[in-house]
Amino acid sequence: MAVLPTLLVVLYGLCLLFILGFSLGQWQLTRLARRAYKQGLPPAPPIPPAWPTVLVQLPLYNEQNVVERVIDACAALDYPADRLHIQVLDDSNDATVALAAARVAHHAARGLSISHVRRTDRQGFKAGALRFGLEGNTDEYVAIFDADFVPEADFLKRTIPYFLPDEKIGVVQTRWGHLNEDEDLLTRLQAFGLNAHFLIEQVGRTFAGFFINFNGTGGVWRRACIDDAGGWHTDTLTEDLDLSYRAQLRGWHFLYRPDIVAPAELPAVMDALKSQQFRWTKGAAETARKHLGQMWRSSQPLAVKLQATFHLLNSSVYIVIMLMALLSVPLVFVRAQYHEFKVVFRLASVFLLGFAPLVYYYYTAWRLAHPRKSMWRYPGFFLLFLSVSMGLALHNARAVILGWLGQRTPFVRTPKAGTGGPAKRRRYRTGGVGALVLLEGVLACYFAFGLVAGIYFNDFGLLPFHTLLTIGFGAICYYSVRDDK
């Protein structure tokens, strides 16, 4: 038996096993979430006789399209004025500074306790700004909103009461809504994926008592929890996930409420989406590198440790997808020329059922988010989402590898376009068409070649995979080039 074909088959088989394990993890969370919904969410606690003090932090960097909107939304929060303070943590170096200063002055003149906080540099990026804002502040709770969020007026009155019955609750996280979900196909696909996280993963983990994460925005911290966990660190790109794990390892509990929605804007161009994906995937790998060992040395139950490992290593699935994709084309020729592997490939086809739990996972989220939509719209949309997710595999796999290697990269925030129309938007760019985009185009051609080769050999075993890969990488490349114009 030839060595190289055997190695290819073995590596591909290991990738299938990983995908199966990943899918079963999502299936478990789906079962837990369905049980949670069937049981019903715990009732909201009573309104407290006296409201505690709250600090609202708005970290900003060059957000002139949305800065006025988020400041005005937070200024409209229905909360006792003498118990509320708003910090606009503005690290900007463009017109955002003047716009923020004007809105802060306007609301301060109305008697609102609001301040425009400026630093001399961006040291530590978002985490550094949040930490800087807490210096000298003594408010009991801290709500955080990124610039693209538009919290409802009753947000604080709906979240703060959950802290009061239990002094060990460190965070109340809410579900993200989508202001521009129907803007185009790109935003609909993002909403599809995010809904699965917020309607399934967070609900399932909370229900089972597993670790969850503060999502960086749209949530409230108990100040004592932040301090006890060591404050905001700047050594990962996901300061929210990092602090979440440090706090829960210290014994703090996190509460997630899917019924409280914090509306936000989705990235509407590919470079903005890629910058967001890079930060999330690389930051998750950095956090795993930082905390996995400590998690396994802790006294947490085995089930919590296993689920935390699955949680922190989630982004590593992109490395496996990328490896599977690269191996799949030569495997077309192995299937055609080495008939002794026929039994092995038939066995491997069974492991392709590992994708079935993902169908169940995303379908459950789809029905929860869109109960009135026809179920027959789901299969095509799911396949398109799966295809585009595969198309991001090269970009995200690179981010994960950099994270595991500990290579430091700057915090590149996700540009927001706002809702003022193209004429009123400033186009923030995170990068142009570089070598990575060109490589994505080359890979689209590579997978198309695999597709044609399968048809030529009359072997359709890998045809669906190559079709999804070709469409996915082609779409990512197309959107990257289009949005650069």
Catalytic residues: 91, 240
> Residue 24, exposed/middle/buried by CB under 10 A (0-12, 13-18, 19+)?
middle
User: How far is Cα 379 from Cα 166, in angstroms, rounded to an integer?
Assistant: 43
User: How far is Cα 411 from Cα 187, in angstroms, rounded to an integer?
Assistant: 23
Residue 341 DSSP SS3:
helix
User: How far is Cα 106 from Cα 102, in angstroms, rounded to an integer?
Assistant: 6
Angle between helical axes of 270-297 and 393-405 (0-180°, round to 10): 40
Strands 84-90 and 54-60: parallel
Those residues whose C-beta lies under 8 Å from the C-beta of residue 409, and which sit 6 or more positions away, are: 237, 282, 402
The two structure tokens encoding residue 387: 């295809």
**Amino acid residing at 264:** A
User: How far is Cα 238 from Cα 215, in angstroms, rounded to an integer?
Assistant: 9
Nearest to 334 by CA among 430, 454, 476: 454
Nearest to 455 by CA among 351, 337, 346, 336: 336
Angle between helical axes of 435-456 and 463-483 (0-180°, round to 10): 150
DSSP of 155-212, one letter per residue? HHHHHGGGTTT-TTEEEEEEEEEETTTTSSHHHHHHHHHHHHIIIIIHHHHHHHT---
User: How far is Cα 479 from Cα 19, in angstroms, rounded to an integer?
Assistant: 27
DSSP of 111-149, one letter per residue? T--EEEE--SS-TTHHHHHHHHHHTT---SEEEE--TTB
Q: Would you tell me how many other CB atoms lie within 10 Å of the CB of residue 346? A: 10
Cα→Cα distances 410→124, 234, 275, Å: 9, 11, 11
Q: Which residues pair with 180 in a beta bridge?
A: none
User: How far is Cα 235 from Cα 239, in angstroms, rounded to an integer?
Assistant: 8
